[in-house]
Amino acid sequence: MSGRFLALYFDFGDTLIDQATEVKDESFTTLQAELIPGAAELLRELKRRGYRLGLVSNGPVGSIPNVLGACGLYQLFDVLAVSQGLGVDKPDARIFRYALDHMGISESEYDRTIMIGNDLAADVAGANTVGMISVWLDWAPRHRKTPTSEAEIPHHTIVEPLALLSLLEELERGL
C-alpha cells in the first residue's frame, strides 16, 4: 500500500457545499444547498481511483443525507463523523479518531490520511493535532484566512476542489 493515502476526509460546509446557498429548517438542518464548483467531480474521481472517503463535519446529522443524497454523492462515503451524532465538535480529536477508527486506520498511520477543510481552527488544527495531513480549501470568504496558532497552519493549501487531484499525485510520489 506504499505510495498511496489510506483515506481522505472532507468537511461539509464550504468544503463540499456552498454555505451561502443553504436552505435550513427550524432545527438548523440543511434541507438543500448547492455544491461548490468541482466538488461532485472531485468526489466521483477520487472514488473511481479507489480512495476511501470520509466526512468529518460539525452540524446536524440530517444535513448530510439531505444534500449529498440529492446529488448522488452520499453513497461515496465510507464513514460519516458528524458532531451532532457524536456529541463532540471539531477540532476535538475524538471526532477525527472516530472517523479514522471506523476505517480501521491505526494511530501510527494517521500521517497517511488527509483532512480537507475550509476552517483553520476546526479542520486544519483538528487534523494537525491528531497527526493527519491537513489541506486547507481557501475558497469561501466567510472564514478567517490567517492562522492564529501553530496548529492552524495547514500542510497544504488549495483554492478550488479539483486542485486536490494534482496535489495528491504530487504527494503520493513522495510516499
Cα(68)–Cα(145) distance, integer angstroms: 27
Cell of 165: 487531484
**Which among 112, 104, 103, 116 has a CA at the least distance from the CA of 57?**
116
One digit per residue, the tens of pLDDT, for the chain of length 175 reads 457 999 999 999 999 999 999 999 999 999 999 999 999 999 999 999 999 999 999 999 999 999 999 999 999 999 999 999 999 999 999 999 999 999 999 999 999 999 999 999 999 999 999 999 999 999 988 889 999 999 999 999 999 999 999 999 999 998 7
Backbone dihedral angles phi then psi of residue 39, each to the nearest 5 degrees: -65, -45
The count of other CB atoms within 10 Å of the CB of residue 25 is: 12
**Which among 132, 124, 136 has a CA at the least distance from the CA of 164?**
136
Class of the 7-173 domain? alpha beta
Q: 27 with 132: CB under 8 angstroms? A: no
- At residue 123's C-alpha, the angle toward residues 110 and 10, to 5°, is 75
Q: Burial level of 166, CB count in 10 A (0-12/13-18/19+)? A: exposed
Whole-Å CA distances, 153 to 22, 103, 125, 147: 28, 26, 7, 6
